[in-house]
Amino acid sequence: MPNITAAGRTAAGSGWQQYVDSNGQTTDYAIYIDIDTTVGGFIPSQDIPTYTASLGGDSRMWDSNGAQCVYQATHTGFRIYLRANFRDAKDEDQELDVAFAQANNWFINWQGIQQF
């Protein structure tokens, strides 16, 4: 079966946005990034590619979860949401914000496969 396979990564520390909840409130515990996969040349008249993703960076990637969950997949990209996965000494949720992702040079590795 023929296919198109493409891979890439986002720029370290760039493109992250603060998550806004359903009430329109900016959160302090989640961020997201939109991944542009147009370099893959996926064919719009065929099925949406199957994407896989992982989080990379200099440090503290284990402080989040969600990097492997692909949302809003299209032929030209998808979205990844990250949520804080850590607590302080008082067992309170810590912040996960854009500055944290930037300071740790976080990026998303991705691969897309479209079979037709």
pLDDT digits (tens, 9 = 90+) for 12-60: 999 999 999 999 999 888 999 999 999 999 999 999 999 999 999 999 9
- Percentage, residues of the chain above pLDDT 70: 92
Closest of 1, 26, 3, 18 to residue 111, by C-alpha: 3
pTM reported for the whole predicted model = 0.91
| pLDDT of 92 | 61
